[in-house]
Amino acid sequence: MPHSIKALITPSLMKWAREQAGLDIATAAERIKRPQNEIQSWEDGTLQPTLAQARKAAEVYRRSLAVFYLSDLPQGFQTLRDFRHLPNSQSRTYSPSLAQLIQLIEHRKNWLSNWLEEDGVEPLNFIGSVSLNTPASNIADAIRNKLGINPEQQMKCKTRRETLNLWIDKSEEIGINICRQGDIECEESRGFVLADKYAPFIYINSSDAIVAQLFTLAHELAHLWINESGISNMEGLIQSANTDDDKIEVFCNSIASLSLLNENTFKSLWKHTSTNNSIEDRINAVSELAKVSEEVVARRLLDKNVITVLQYQQLRQSFIKRWKRLKDEERSKTKDSKWFPSPHLLRVLKNGRVLTRVVLTSYFEGSLCGADASNLLNVKINHFPKIAEYTGLVFNHKG
């Protein structure tokens, strides 16, 4: 019978895929629903899985089935540059959740990039369009101009969430796929970016505060402009930089700050705050008007030597405590509310609108089979029409 056909996989690739997924043999066996000694035998080459079992392993390890047939270990996400600042006691090894998320997003990025290139789409001209020698203010202006966001438009937003949505919408309009989900601890990663001239992907940790998500997005956009893929948590960096990675992070932080609050707007808003008020109150006033985090404003004051490093650190700790309190209040309201986001909308946010639109369009036009489309989006085919509605697409279900 077809399901008993042996899969002629490369044993070392089975072990590699499991380890890259952050799974031990016991956990892998439980998820694949096979005995532990069987998983071990696949990896040492004494037993071959059936084709159905290999497909199940590929699903659990978040890998394409074709990976198991390669002769050599693939070069994948493990080369993603690590810009994170972690405590000395904390391992730099990704948690299983983060490892699988990066694998999944890289797989989707590779598919979308190849699909768009083969379809004759022009490469994105802003990827790598500047260098580390370009002034941060020039890059910030270039990002704003490309997105088509001006300070007045941003300040008209009623809330910071609306501001975040504005920046995400504009980023997606120029071809950047934004993925949002909150299964990762913020301390491990607030975001990461996979630069690509056809299909750049940005991940934003949606469990973070809204203002922090906005800064993460601006920070990762800066990474795209200098064409540097990497993972960030934006912890512990202020002005000094001891390593090349730190220098890039400080530079991207500066670009992000200037993108969200340009110099002229900052000067105008700060000038109109009352000098009779405390520094913290003045920072809060500017942040409310500009729809950015208090930290962005404080960072600008630090750069101008209006406040000291110690003052900045004390203010930042105060802001973080307030963000956590606001997050807890928001979660409590959501828990008590009878309204919950549509699971179809949440799936679009996790996958990204750019990817979702391309996959669904290709499927409904007949150029992508249902199985591949379903696998790429992690959605059953009968849910495609509902998913499409949240991307602005309207198609009839294939009958």
Residue 26: predicted pLDDT: 93
My answer on whether 195 and 63 are in the same domain is no
Q: Is residue 53 part of a domain?
A: yes
My answer on whether 45 and 154 are in the same domain is no
**What does the alpha-carbon distance between residue 230 and residue 183 come to, in Å, rounded to a whole number?**
19
Name the domain count of the chain.
Answer: 3
Residue 1: predicted pLDDT: 41
My answer on whether 165 and 251 are in the same domain is yes
My answer on whether 325 and 363 are in the same domain is no
**What does the alpha-carbon distance between residue 216 and residue 256 come to, in Å, rounded to a whole number?**
8
Distance of CA 219 to the CA centre of its chain: 11
Inter-CA distances, 359 with 36, 102, 103, 367, 372, Å: 36, 19, 19, 10, 9
Domain with residue 34: its CATH number is: 1.10.260.40
Q: Is residue 305 part of a domain?
A: yes
Q: Is residue 215 part of a domain?
A: yes
My answer on whether 105 and 228 are in the same domain is yes
My answer on whether 43 and 161 are in the same domain is no
**What does the alpha-carbon distance between residue 175 and residue 258 come to, in Å, rounded to a whole number?**
22
Residue position matching structure tokens 């899985």? 49
Q: Which of 298, 292, 293 is nearest to 312 (CA)?
A: 298
The amino acid at residue 115 is: W
Residue 334: predicted pLDDT: 61
Q: Is residue 338 part of a domain?
A: no
My answer on whether 215 and 287 are in the same domain is yes
My answer on whether 261 and 126 are in the same domain is yes
My answer on whether 225 and 131 are in the same domain is yes
Distance of CA 38 to the CA centre of its chain: 36
Q: Is residue 85 part of a domain?
A: no
Q: Is residue 81 part of a domain?
A: no
My answer on whether 66 and 101 are in the same domain is no
- Whole domain around residue 283: which residue ranges? 97-329
Structure tokens at 119: 């379809």
List, run by run, the mean pLDDT of 10-residue segments along the chain (399 residues).
72 87 88 94 93 88 76 60 71 75 88 95 96 96 97 94 97 97 88 96 93 94 95 70 81 94 94 93 94 91 90 88 75 63 91 96 94 92 94 68
Q: Is the pTM of this model over 0.85?
A: no
